[in-house]
Copies of this chain bind each other. A is one copy, B any other.
Amino acid sequence: MKLFHGGSSPFVRKVMVVAHETGQIDKLELLDGGTTPIETNPELAKFNPVGKIPALILADGTGLANSPVICDYLDSLHRSAKMIPASGSSRWEALHFQAISDGLMDAAVNNRYETMVRPETLRWDAWSAGQMGKVDRVVDALEDSVDILGDRVHIGTISVGCALGYLDFRYGDRKWRGSHPKLAAWFAKFEQRPSMQATMPPKT
């Protein structure tokens, strides 16, 4: 399989962590997925017309979009511990954590476009405040949910880890740890997993 990759994308990191945790990293050939909302990578767009990474090219040459679907696909290909619980409350818990973590990442990435890509004279403070409000609310909700995250390793905790890792990578000045001590302690431990260490964003 071939994966359109980008080292800065928290959505790509999620896929890579799942591949590591399930012993499948060697199955992935990485392609340069560099793209922006203004100039779409044309090769990527052939397989994911939305023009976003990650996108996977299956063995038969068809494309598979987006990170939850690619993680689900990878999880169907191995026989060790599953990253996506098959049923019951643990399934909905894990998928809800993925959903709100993806929402954090979307908002944080959107705000990067607003503050780093959009011409300075066209920026709108209320938009940035709205996006970062989403980020802050998700971090608050995670602090309240640390007992559910616990020692679990599944698509939910992986997504939380990638979301917090993205905050550290792009928003280091927000210093979320002070006001969220339980989440900080959880992440300090989770981030030590080899799958997380192997997929750290590039140094900026």
Q: Whole-angstrom distance between the alpha carbons of A25 and B179 in the complex? A: 41
Q: Which residues of B contact A100 (CB under 8 A)?
A: 48-50, 65
Interface 9-residue window, one of A132-140, A167-175, A191-199: A132-140
Interface 9-residue window, one of A15-23, A117-125, A181-189: A117-125
Q: How many residues belonging to A are interface residues under a CB distance threshold of 8 Å?
A: 50
Q: Say yes or no: A37-B73 contact (C-beta < 8 A), given A52-B103, A99-B66.
A: no
Q: Is the CB of B65 within 8 A of A96?
A: yes
Q: Is the CB of B123 within 8 A of A51?
A: no
Closest to A51 in B: B134
Q: Is the CB of B95 within 8 A of A72?
A: yes
A53 to chain B, nearest CB (A): 12
Q: Is the CB of B96 within 8 A of A69?
A: yes
Q: Is the CB of A137 within 8 A of B45?
A: yes
> How many copies of this chain are found per oligomer?
2
> Does more than half of chain A's interface fall in helix, strand or loop, or is it mixed?
helix
Q: Whole-angstrom distance between the alpha carbons of A66 and B97 in the complex? A: 10
A63 within 8 A of B: yes
- Contact residues, A99-113 vs B (CB, 8 A): 99-100, 102-104, 106-107
Q: Is the CB of B66 within 8 A of A92?
A: no
A–B pairs, 12, beta carbons within 8 Å: A38-B126, A38-B127, A38-B129, A39-B130, A40-B130, A49-B137, A50-B134, A50-B137, A62-B96, A65-B100, A69-B92, A122-B123
Interface set of A (CB-CB < 8 Å, partner B): 36-40, 45, 48-52, 58, 62-66, 68-69, 72-73, 76, 87, 92, 95-96, 98-100, 102-104, 106-107, 118-119, 122-124, 126-127, 129-131, 133-134, 137-138, 140-141
